[in-house]
A and B are shown apart, each in its own frame.
Chain A
Amino acid sequence: MALLLFNLVLILLQLWLFVSVLEGMLHGKTAMALPAALASVGLCLVNVWMLRGLSRG
């Protein structure tokens, strides 16, 4: 259950990053797009790692 909640927190963080970047781009700010993409991929990898651990257990 704790893993599931952590998974939800990470996805909410990704969603927040995505919306922030989109909003920034619509206002002409593109500087944060690449760091946010890297962070989002990193969070996704954490989620995949947790899923693999769950599948093995």
Chain B
Amino acid sequence: MDKALQDDFPIDWEQDGFVSRREFFKFMTLASGGLAIGSVGLAAWSSALRGERRFEPIRIARLDEVPTGTALGFGYPRPSDLCILVHHKDGTLSAFSRRCTHLSCPVDYQAQTERLFCPCHNGAFSSKDGSVLQGPPPAPLPRVLIENRDGELWAVGVVH
């Protein structure tokens, strides 16, 4: 090879793709920064998901259309988001998402035991507060906030 050319380009062809330890360390530190940013992003996302979220209120039914000891299905905040309103025997009302927190099967109200039962894997939730009573569900059911406006029941928000 020409001597002048070799002086101008001292790196051999075989060494062209060589990565020094320092360069590799820099790359790995960059990856570490990326993972740290990703983790912070996940934390921000999780805090956005938690807590109370208000949506456009929708009318569910009149109170007298839901006798005590029964339940009524509705969609909130979108019609495809299945929810269930329970009118307890003591006269109180509560509403939850119908999607089981295990694998999203719809839960059904069981009046005798006053619980919301998922037939897919025998999961059960309290119909009072949505907490897990049995089975594989890892988290309580999201609660739907309801308001009684002159005898009409309205859904106004969701609490995760």
Interface residues of A (CB under 8 A from B): 1, 3-4, 7-8, 10-11, 14-15, 17-18, 21-22, 25, 27-30, 33-34, 36-37, 40-41, 43-44, 47-48, 50-51, 54-55
Alpha-carbon distance between A10 and B32 when the two chains are bound, in angstroms: 8
Stretch with Cβ within 8 A of A (4 or more), from B21-29, B74-82, B111-119, B147-155: B21-29
CB-CB nearest in chain B for A46: B32
Add 5 more A-B contacts to A7-B32, A11-B32 (CB < 8 A): A25-B42, A36-B42, A37-B42, A47-B29, A51-B25
Alpha-carbon distance between A54 and B22 when the two chains are bound, in angstroms: 8
Determine the main DSSP class of B at the interface with A: helix
Determine if A40 and B139 form an interchain contact, defined as CB atoms under 8 angstroms apart.
no
CB-CB nearest in chain B for A30: B46
18 interchain pairs, CB-CB under 8 A: A4-B21, A8-B28, A14-B36, A15-B35, A18-B35, A18-B38, A25-B42, A25-B45, A25-B46, A25-B49, A27-B138, A27-B139, A33-B42, A41-B40, A44-B33, A44-B35, A54-B22, A54-B25
Distance in Å: Cβ of B13 to nearest Cβ of chain A: 26
Distance in Å: Cβ of B36 to nearest Cβ of chain A: 4
Determine if B47 and A34 form an interchain contact, defined as CB atoms under 8 angstroms apart.
yes
Determine if A28 and B101 form an interchain contact, defined as CB atoms under 8 angstroms apart.
yes
In the complex, how many residue pairs between chain A and chain B have their CB atoms under 8 Å apart? 94
Determine if A48 and B39 form an interchain contact, defined as CB atoms under 8 angstroms apart.
no
Chain A positions within 8 Å of B139 at CB level: 27-29
Chain A positions within 8 Å of B31 at CB level: 11
B43 at the interface (CB under 8 A from A): yes
Write the B1-41 contact mask toward A (1 if CB under 8 angstroms, else 0): 00000000000000000000110111011011101101110
Chain A positions within 8 Å of B138 at CB level: 27-29
